[in-house]
Structure 1
Amino acid sequence: MQYITTAHEAELNAALVMKSWGYTDAVATTGGADGGIDVRSSRALAQVKWRGGAAGRPEMQQLYGSRAADTSKALFFFAASAYSDQAVQYADQVGIGLFIYDPVGAVTAVNKVAQQFVVAAPKGTVAKAKMPLDDVLLFGAGALALIGAVILFVLLAGK
């Protein structure tokens, strides 16, 4: 399996997830003074927390404030661990979707806003945004073995 091992990989994963939800122009920022925004799209903004303890209300407030007057943009927060109760309450009040991602990038909705988004999202795009590399390799190896067995059968049957 290919694990997320850096903050930038976590941001790239969040951008990939957002693209799967229809935010096709989602791009991970490259660092610097990003104002707390790690992924930008013309229709959404996201912050990604890669390490550490639970994400708190101050981080939700920072994300909410970074949207400024453009209230048409959706707000998402992706965390590797958990959220404080205050963060969840605030996010529900202001409309931030909270998600936890696992080590291979699959996301799970945490709060009411995120759960409502999951219901409205295209089927199958939220629970798992990508197939782990090991699964792809295993599928490819199985298909190759099957093809080899068919070829061998045909060769033996012809004798």
Structure 2
Amino acid sequence: MLNLSNLSPQKGSTKQRKRLGRGPGTGHGKTAGRGHKGFKSRSGSGIKPGFEGGQMPLQRRLPKRGFNNIFKKEYVLVSLDQLESFEGAEVITTAALIEAGMVKKGAMVKVLANGTVTKAVKVHVEKISGKAKELIEAAGGEVILVEAVSE
């Protein structure tokens, strides 16, 4: 009977590791397959990613363009169809959207007018499109823009 105590790998699927520096009889003694002298024979050596033998590496040869704005605010988009799944009486905040699993923690939310809203919902988010605001207010809802909370 096969159980955990007598499991073994398929025949030929494993082979012994190369034991380096174990005497001349092994064929991997003394220099242990690294040859004599040079960068690749030293400990801690090895060609680093991007190294091109002293030639100027590609990532330094190519021109750099553009600008990365570190203060850019990225918003997660939520549609009116998604807001429709909430109950009419409750206030829909960013925290409520995180709890519902629609938005990840720490994200800022922008509501877009994809779909329709039939319930009177109160929405407290960082940003909303003009059309979405119109549709929510037409359904008897309320929109309040809140400042982004930095964590």
TM-score by length of 1: 0.25
Kindly name which structure, 1 or 2, has the bigger radius of gyration based on alpha carbons: 2
Higher-helix-fraction structure? 1
TM-score by length of 2: 0.26
